[in-house]
Structure 1
């Protein structure tokens, strides 16, 4: 067996994740499969690359050497792919996004800003996957969210710009819920509820929700994790669960959106792009398209429109 790029990527992901389980999840493989692959890589490398303990894995001296070379090789391959695309006369712009509310309006805005240019937009359910594919040259740019103090690590050669520095998450609940008639809801009043967890589990969202609930005096009962919007809304409308939501989310039959008192959970939206594949001008057009798509959704909920209009310092600079 010879080492291939996929083997080098696996070693790097194990080191970044700090455990085989987390690395396997980020790579989209099972932990036993990744463990078997690591053993094969170690046989070729001539020794153990990681020491394994109760709290995860740490690189051995040999592992540190392999990691330094692997990162360099992967970086050069990414630069080669990005440079080749940048040299193409009319490269297709490939954009990856997590399932933010603004994505619904983003495609139309991109068509306006990039008139006559080919654009591909993919949706991922993991920020880690987005940034990994950005590093690998699969995407030229990505739009993603971060919750509370979480910062998504970005690969080398990537520039980033914050689109919306702060937005307060609200709660979606059944229109028949006893608290649905309130204008604003205290988080502590939701202590006995069953929660729909966020689809993205690597943007800091679940940790932020658990931390906010702890400060409110309870531990949330997290049960459902559903990406399909219709099923998500149907479960809430039926009174089976509640969920946190972006304040720009659209109405859904049988449900209501209500702000949380004190804004206990907040997020931000960012744009990142590969500098070798996306010029400053194209990055500016991307930023403008995403900013306009966000603004298109602000009027969806009167409570957020009032909150937003009172904070002009948070508005994206679209001039």
Structure 2
């Protein structure tokens, strides 16, 4: 066996994650498969690359050497890919997104802002996955959300711009719920509810929910982790759970979306791009397309529209 780029990436991810389990999750493989791959890599390099330590796995002296070479080689390959794409006359824009509401309305605005450009849009469940793939050159730009006090680490060579600096979380609950008729809901009044969330939240939002509920005097009972938006909303409509949602979320039959009194949970939306692959001018056009898509979604919720219009300092700059 000869070492390939994927082997070097695996070694780098294990070192970054500090454990085989976390590295396997980030690489999208099982832990046994990654362990077997590491053993094959170690046979080629001639010795152990990692040893188990107090906080997880730590590189051996041989591992440190292989890591230094891996980082240099992977960095040069990323630079080669990005440079070649930037030199192309009309390179395909590869955009990665979390399942934000604005993505539903983004396509038309991208066609307006980037006419004649081919655009490849993919969605991911994880902000960490998005940033890792951006750093690896698999995306040119990403759109993602994060809790207001959470900073998702960005790779070297990446620029970022905040699209929406503050967005309050609303709660979605069944239209038959006793609190559904209220204009706003106190978080403490949801203490006895069962909650549902996405299957993979590493954007700081789960921690923010736990902290906000703690301040409200209770620990939320999380029972369901569901990826599919429609399935989550059907479960909520049936009265089996409640969930925090973006305030721009569209109407879902059998549910209502209500603000939380005092905005105890907020988040933000950001755009990040690889500077070697996306020019400042192109990044500006992408920002405008995303901003207009967000603005289009605000009328979904009249109570949020009033909140938004009273805070012009939060509005994206479109000139």
TM bracket (short chain):
over 0.9
Work out the CA distance in 2 between the residues paired with 1:231 and 1:13. Answer: 33
Number of the residue aligned with 2:312: 312
Work out the CA distance in 2 between the residues paired with 1:116 and 1:140. Answer: 17
Deviation at residue 54 of structure 1 after TM alignment: 5.5
Number of the residue aligned with 2:48: 48
Deviation at residue 83 of structure 1 after TM alignment: 0.9
Cα deviation digits, residues 15-68 of structure 1 (max 9, x gap):
222222111111111111112222222333333333324642233333333222
Number of the residue aligned with 1:63: 63
Number of the residue aligned with 1:122: 122
Deviation at residue 170 of structure 1 after TM alignment: 1.0
Q: Is the 8 A contact 1:209 1:265 kept in 2?
A: yes
Cα deviation digits, residues 58-80 of structure 1 (max 9, x gap):
33333333222211211110111
The 5-angstrom pairing of residues 201-212 of structure 1 reads 201-212=201-212
TM-score when normalising by structure 1: 0.95
The 5-angstrom pairing of residues 1-319 of structure 1 reads 1-53=1-53, 55-319=55-319
Cα deviation digits, residues 183-238 of structure 1 (max 9, x gap):
11111211111111134411112222122222222221212222222111111100
Moved more, 85-94 or 161-170: 85-94
Cα deviation digits, residues 242-278 of structure 1 (max 9, x gap):
1110111111110001111222221111111111111
Task: Determine helix, strand or coil for the equivalent of 2:101.
Answer: coil
Deviation at residue 128 of structure 1 after TM alignment: 2.0
Q: Is the 8 A contact 2:148 2:166 kept in 1?
A: no
Task: Determine helix, strand or coil for the equivalent of 1:153.
Answer: coil
Cα deviation digits, residues 78-128 of structure 1 (max 9, x gap):
111111111112211111111000001111110111122211111111222
Moved more, 41-50 or 214-223: 41-50
- Counting matched residue pairs gives 319
Q: Is the 8 A contact 1:133 1:139 kept in 2?
A: yes
Task: Determine helix, strand or coil for the equivalent of 1:2.
Answer: coil
Q: Is the 8 A contact 1:198 1:205 kept in 2?
A: no
Aligned-residue Cα RMSD (Å) equals 1.5
Work out the CA distance in 2 between the residues paired with 1:62 and 1:186. Answer: 56
Moved more, 44-53 or 96-105: 44-53
Work out the CA distance in 2 between the residues paired with 1:23 and 1:210. Answer: 26
Work out the CA distance in 2 between the residues paired with 1:51 and 1:201. Answer: 29
Change in 2 beyond 3 A, CA 1:163/1:199: farther
Task: Determine helix, strand or coil for the equivalent of 1:181.
Answer: coil
Work out the CA distance in 1 between the residues paired with 2:65 and 2:151. Answer: 27
Moved more, 135-144 or 95-104: 135-144
- Which consecutive residues of structure 1, in runs of 5 or more, have no partner in the other structure? none
